[in-house]
Amino acid sequence: MKKLALKTQFRLGTGLILLVVCIGTSLVVYSVGKQQVEADIYKETEIYIAAVEATRTYVKDVLRPQMYALVPGDHFIPEAMSTSFVGREIMGRVHDRFKNFRYKRAALNPINPINKADTIETTLIARLNDERGMREWSGLIERDGRSFYARFRAIYAEPECLRCHSEPAAAPPAILARYPDMDSDYSDRMGQAIAADVVYIPVDIAFTKIKRQAWMTFVLGGGLLFSLIVLFYALFNYTVVTELKGLLNNFKKLVGRPSEHSAPADIEASGGTDEIDQLKDAFSNVAAELQQTHEELKASESKYRRLFESSRDPNFIWDMGKRLIDINEAGIQMFGFEDKAEALAIETGHQLFWDWHAAAILFDTIKDQGFVKEYEISLVNRWGSRLDALVTANLKTDENGTPVGFEGIIRDVTDRRKLEKHLAQTEKLAAIGQLAAGVAHEINNPLGVIKCYANLIYKNTADIDQVKEDAGVIKKHTQACSQIVEGLLNFARVQDTHKALADIHAGIEAVVAILEPQFRKRDIAIVRRFAADLPRVLVDEEKMKQVYMNILLNASQAMDQSGEIRISTSVDKADNMLVVAITDTGAGIPPDKREQIFDPFFTTKKTEQGTGLGLSISYGIVKEHGGDIRVDSTPGKGSCFQLMLPLERGGMH
């Protein structure tokens, strides 16, 4: 079977939708109208039922008792005492005025045959008896070839009712005389529904009007919608189809151009019978090309993403506003971010640089030159630590050559720079050591001669005060020179190291026991904050005592008057190091001097307080143990020297 053209499908579909909408609207109009008619009729029947109910209760509660008071007990006047008779007569007069309803007191076993219930009424009264909670019923019924809305309200047997509706022999003589053919088979019981007040209102005329309205809605609505669709279709052909033809021609040119993976496609030969069919085929062909291109781009993007994410060096992409828009896992780890979301949340890329001014120069250089290669700059991680890095980056542009951002690689060279600095320091110390050894040996002999002759002069001129005083000055300064020479020899001498597992606290306490009495005289307190269960560490205990001694003396000399020296110990589990921190409340070290404190002969003390070799020797000893000395100092507040000593594997607990 030949497939219908899209235009034909559109027309058929539009016609079907129009038909469904018209039918649905007509059914809604009919249903709503019918419900409204039933609601109005229900209210109308309520008026008639209420009138009948009021008449019945008035006769029962007022007229009948009054009549019993006026006539003998065995007398009964139906015109004034029978609720059914009076109600029927009154409703008959109402019917004379309002013809559009019927009233009947329908009874299962009436005294007056006119009230005899028909089949429908008998069925509904029986239903009212069966369903005790159901006092009335209303709904549509068919009778006499017409449709009626009927409302039944049950009448239940009461003691007054049973006077006439029980045994005929017990009925009042007036009733027997009026209705001689009374049925002798009465079985009415108290509380039984023996009859019902029924109101009938014809609804066939009203329903016919509603059906006519529904048909009018169908015809008029359908005609209006059909006119609108015709106008819309004409407007669509006039405004859209022309454009579609031009678009189709463009697609023919596009699809007819051979690609790397497919041959040209003939749209007109693909079965299309109109512009929409041909355009659909063109879209299908272009979509296939786009899908293939998308898969190739996706594969290329996946390859690029794998290279980007798996690189061991941090990779980054910034936009022109210096905002970070992508970074790989290596970059997240280097800067200490918890995840990529936190990294991308920073306000500007300048926050990753130690110096914002230097960062601005870097970005300007990339803009001007288009790239930088191994540009050395300092970065800062999340914890504020300085990182030395080499940045290789280029300016990222779009297809029009407009700059859109920066992309590149960061190589962390912090450890390399530290190693280079350490090697330079080691070479410098070695050179100075060789020089110091030569100088010390050359100076040591003349100093011995000077010291000897100074002692002779001091002894042989005991009675000449001036000569004795001058000899004492010579001896004093000779002794100072000897101490310097001794320091030089100690610095240059390669001593044997004897390492053994030792208790760091015991070594510290041995040094503190010597120095603490002197410190007390200067009102300097030593506070110990030792960690409990500190593991033993493999060290040369005597050399480490020399380190403690040098740093504690430096700390005391940094305080002109009273102060406090805190000695604390701890374990750095991350680096597997034992840490001895010695903190003072002295003057601190100026930032510009901090890099020089481990250089031989560098000192900020007075001439008579030191030679500048103590920290150099201490640094060499700690490095010999595979450790490090870290310094943190705030001018005016004090300094903290951290001795980092490696622990044996399994030494932490």
Do 327 and 367 reside in the same domain of the chain? yes
> Looking at residue 523, which CATH number applies to its domain?
3.30.565.10
Do 342 and 472 reside in the same domain of the chain? no
List helix spans (H) across 493-540.
Answer: 504-521
Q: What is the 3-state secondary structure (H, E, C) of 287-325?
A: HHHHHHHHHHHHHHHHHHHHHHHHCCCCEEEEECCCCEE
> Looking at residue 375, which CATH number applies to its domain?
3.30.450.20
The last residue of a domain, from among 476, 492, 508: 492
Do 193 and 332 reside in the same domain of the chain? no
In a domain, residue 236? The reply is no
**Res 566 pLDDT > 50:** yes
Do 150 and 46 reside in the same domain of the chain? yes
How far is it, in rounded angstroms, from Cα 216 to Cα 219?
Answer: 5
> Tokens 């006047």 identify what position?
77
If you average pLDDT over residues 324-350, what whole number do you get?
Answer: 83
Give Rg (Cα) of the chain: 58
Q: What is the pLDDT of residues 380-408, one digit of tens each?
A: 888 888 888 898 989 888 888 888 888 88
Do 621 and 547 reside in the same domain of the chain? yes
For residue 527, the model assigns a pLDDT of 92
Residue 237 has a CB neighbour count (10 Å cut-off) of 12
Do 392 and 453 reside in the same domain of the chain? no
For residue 607, the model assigns a pLDDT of 47
Counting the structural domains of the chain, the total is 4
pLDDT classification of 71: cutoffs 50, 70, 90: confident
If we measure between CA atoms, which residue out of 149, 147, 131 comes closest to residue 139? 149
Reading the block at residue 235, the tokens are 């407007």
Average model confidence (pLDDT) for the chain?
Answer: 79
Q: What is the pLDDT of residues 440-467, one digit of tens each?
A: 666 767 777 777 777 777 777 767 777 7
> Looking at residue 461, which CATH number applies to its domain?
1.10.287
Do 379 and 519 reside in the same domain of the chain? no
**Pick from 239-243, 421-425, 426-430, 458-462: least confident:** 426-430
Domain of 541, in residue numbers = 500-646
Do 543 and 633 reside in the same domain of the chain? yes
In a domain, residue 266? The reply is no
**Res 261 pLDDT > 50:** no
